[in-house]
Amino acid sequence: MSALYPEIEPYDHGLLDTGDGNLIYWEACGNPAGRPALVLHGGPGSGCSTAARHYFDPDAYRIILFDQRNCGRSLPSAADPETDLSLNTTWHLVADIERLRACLGIDTWLLFGNSWGSTLALAYGETHPDHVAAIVLSGVTTTRRSEIDWLYRGMAPLFPEEWHCFRQAVPPGSQGRDEDMVAAYHRLLNDPDPETRLKAARDWHDWEAASILLADPQGRPRRWADPAYLLTRARIITHYFTHSAWLEDGQLLKNTARLTGIPGILLQGRFDIEAPLVTAWELARAWPQSELSIIPHAAHSTANPDMSAAIVTATDRFRDFPQK
């Protein structure tokens, strides 16, 4: 089993001006002359985590992390109700990644994406395949309508008490509790009343916690104690999912031919309830240069020791891979 690499601090960081009022926080760790690797965080809206630095050999990799639009240390923050999210879409993020690559003088890089980050990695890779050397994905998602519906309706029979609370938290009204839950919470998270917004953010994360606590008895992520973090993340997630992430349904699976020649490793927990195995299996069948590894005792979290070890093993495999 591969151990995580030691804790490291960035040797460089900055704010990338996108030219449309957004500033994207980025940081670089490891070896400035090493193989470039880009970390794409989940959520959407979760922000990058220091834990992701541990997945790469710091002597071999130039590790780039960034906070996607309106979350983490990027500005303006989605926690502010005045922040306009209309310029925050999948395709804005793809353009941000390409702008960051050019700004840092990188030709090709390895992409690592977890959960929503796997969707974003596929979207970028299919748009800019010439700049992708390899891809490692965990907790694989493609953000199809069926995947969104599973998260906010399909899982209900597995967690009946939590689902009841999730629905009851939506005030009865013209649509009320019969409304699509993503749309209902999107409305509440953009309500003029700050208490309504905060309650909706907490209720949203209470529902997410149902599946997290099943897989990780240690509890909720520490960042969830911050109300601003909850508001940011929930507002961005509902913004993306009400718009189906600006993807045609099944688009990323249909366009895997654009990844031809790019090697990939797909890591999926057997007990991943949030992102069931079927999506990773379908992606592996559609992308011949990828290989699927099922982690027997893991779920969705990268904090699982078996999953984190599998990620390190995957990045180690590409460490000495010939440059594209």
CA pair distance 141, 120, nearest whole angstrom: 9
User: Phi and psi for 264 in degrees, rounded to 5?
Assistant: -140, 150
Task: Please tell me which residue in 67, 96, 300, 308 is annotated as part of the active site.
Answer: 300
Task: Please tell me which residue in 46, 74, 77, 115 is annotated as part of the active site.
Answer: 115
Residues in Cβ contact with 300 at an 8 Å cutoff, skipping those fewer than 6 apart: 115, 139, 211, 212, 215, 269, 272, 273, 274, 275
Element (H or E) spanning 300, and its range?
Answer: none
Burial of 21 (0-12, 13-18, 19+ CB in 10 A): exposed
Is 14:55 a contact under the CB 8 Å cutoff? Answer: no
* Catalytic residue list contains 300: yes
Q: Is 101 in a helix, a strand, or coil? A: helix
CA pair distance 321, 255, nearest whole angstrom: 25
Angle formed at CA 256 by CA 51 and CA 18, multiple of 5 degrees: 55
Is 70:232 a contact under the CB 8 Å cutoff? Answer: yes
Task: Please tell me which residue in 67, 96, 203, 272 is annotated as part of the active site.
Answer: 272
Q: Is 6 in a helix, a strand, or coil? A: coil
Q: Which residues are catalytic?
A: 115, 272, 300
